[in-house]
Structure 1
Amino acid sequence: MGDGPSTRWVLRATLAVARHPSLWPTALRQVFVLARPRWWAARPYLPLPDRSYLRFRLQTAYGDPDREPEPRDVVAYLHWCRSWRRLDP
């Protein structure tokens, strides 16, 4: 993931999330929560997470900052985000 996720991975993760319509609002929210500040002001003009943050998270999750996450882990993360948000008063 040195230059970002592969197109193949994005497709696989999108399909995994697409199978869970109840997670769509959470997924959309997380896209913007994790987006680097002022993402609209610099190329590629997409709400992508900061590379150093993403590398850190991949290192802590998989022990390898260049590994692409498993799509099922993305779904599990979104389930966790949704349940955590429900606990927030």
Structure 2
Amino acid sequence: MTSVQWWLRAGSGVLVRPSLWGVALVQLFRLARPGWWRRSPFLPVPEPEYLRFRLETQYGSDREPAPADVVTYLHWCRSFHQLT
């Protein structure tokens, strides 16, 4: 799984791009586990198994994703939403 430092770098990449804040919030809640408000840590985060599966299918088991990929993903989400 990714480190805290990775999450901070990925988050800072999004923070400096206000145009992606709305997309990031939408994706956060779309990927959140069902009933996230009923279970600790009471945060809208994906299931760890789901996140692990998605990262391994994208990057393999021997490599950590680049934090900049989060920004690329959010740009793609925004573009895809505009198409639909």
Cα distance in 2 for partners of 1:84, 1:25 equals 14
User: 1:58–1:67: 8 Å Cα contact kept in structure 2?
Assistant: no
Deviation at 1:60, TM superposition (A): 1.1
How many residues align? The count is 84
Which 4+ residue blocks in structure 1 deviate beyond 2 angstroms?
66-69
Instruction: Pick the aligned partner of 1:42 from 34, 39, 43.
Output: 39
Deviation at 1:53, TM superposition (A): 1.1
Alignment root-mean-square deviation, CA: 1.5
- In the alignment, structure 1 residue 76 sits paired with structure 2 residue 35: no
Deviation at 1:9, TM superposition (A): 1.7
Residue number in structure 1 paired with 2:22:
25
Structure 2 residues without counterparts, runs of 5 or longer: none
TM superposition score normalised by structure 2? 0.90
Identity %: 60
Cα distance in 2 for partners of 1:32, 1:70 equals 22
